[in-house]
Amino acid sequence: MSNGPIVGGISQLEGNERREALELLDATLAQLATGDGPSFKALNVTSVTGQVVAGSLNTYEVQLDNGSEIKQGTVKIWSQPWLKENGTNIKIKFAGEDDELDHTW
């Protein structure tokens, strides 16, 4: 039984919420590729969690394919759709790497 999202609470997304989060992941990765960012395709999403934080923050445990190699990583998408500029932020961190990709648009 769900009482709706708890602000700041993290929940595992299922059903329609998971489907919408996966659509957001694909759309955000596509948007990232149109700019100066790298091109990634999500292959195997093992976990999707959501958090309500002045918008929504979705965290994905996923395999990403950049065309030449497949890497396991964590993708975080913070979406504030009411903002005309800088309403979407994506962070990608690969397992075993110190650098983190961070783009906002």
Question: Cα separations (Å) of 31 from 51, 63, 72, 82, 96?
Answer: 22, 18, 20, 17, 26
- Tell me the pLDDT tens digit for each residue of 3-54: 555 567 899 999 999 999 999 999 999 999 998 889 999 999 999 999 988 8
Q: Give the C-alpha separation, 102 to 104, whole Å.
A: 7
Calpha distance 77→60 (Å, rounded): 9
Report the share of the chain in percent with pLDDT over 90. Answer: 84
Domain assignment present for 96: yes
**56 domain-assigned:** yes
Question: Can you give the pTM of this predicted structure?
Answer: 0.82
d(CA 101, CA 94): 9
Predicted local distance difference test score (pLDDT) of residue 6: 59
Beta pairing partners, 63: 72
Number of domains in the chain: 1
The answer to whether residue 31 is domain-embedded is yes
Domain membership of residue 53 (yes or no) is: yes
Q: Is residue 39 part of a domain?
A: yes
What is residue 21's predicted lDDT score, i.e. its pLDDT? 96
Could you list the residue range(s) of the whole structural domain that residue 25 is in?
12-104
Q: What CATH number is given to the structural domain containing 20?
A: 3.10.450.10
Is 80 exceeded by the pLDDT of residue 61?
A: yes
74-99 per-position pLDDT tens digit: 999 999 989 989 999 999 999 999 99
When the pLDDT of each residue in the chain is averaged and rounded to a whole number, the result is 92
CA atoms in the 13 A half-sphere facing the CB of 104? 9
Inside any domain, residue 35: yes
Q: For the chain, what is the radius of gyration of the CA atoms?
A: 14
